[in-house]
Amino acid sequence: MFDPVNKPEHYNMGEIECIDYIKQVLGLEGFIAYCRGNAMKYQHRAEYKGKYLEDMRKHNWYSNKATEALEELYASQSISDT
């Protein structure tokens, strides 16, 4: 089923999903920066593109990916953020 936010068809055409490939190439710190940048982009343009709700969902999706990667980074370095 087509899901433009969580699983866009055009990002799942090969053996590895595009977001996983980007994470693999950039490493955790680079991936966190990439996700934060995309979250900012979607939040900024949401009002102007004509798909406000979809873009805000994409903003949330990238924010969640950044958070997950940050948790992974902290766990690998035995860092606590509490």
pLDDT above 70: residue 42? yes
pLDDT in tens, 2-32: 677 777 666 666 678 889 999 999 999 999 9
**Number of domains into which the chain is organized:** 1
Residue 33 is part of which domain span? 28-76
What percent of the chain is modeled with pLDDT above 90? 70
> Is residue 4 included in any domain, yes or no?
no
| Nearest-10 crossing angle of helices 52-76, 18-49 | 140
Record the pTM: 0.81
> Is residue 43 included in any domain, yes or no?
yes
d(CA 15, CA 63): 25
d(CA 62, CA 41): 10
> Is residue 52 included in any domain, yes or no?
yes
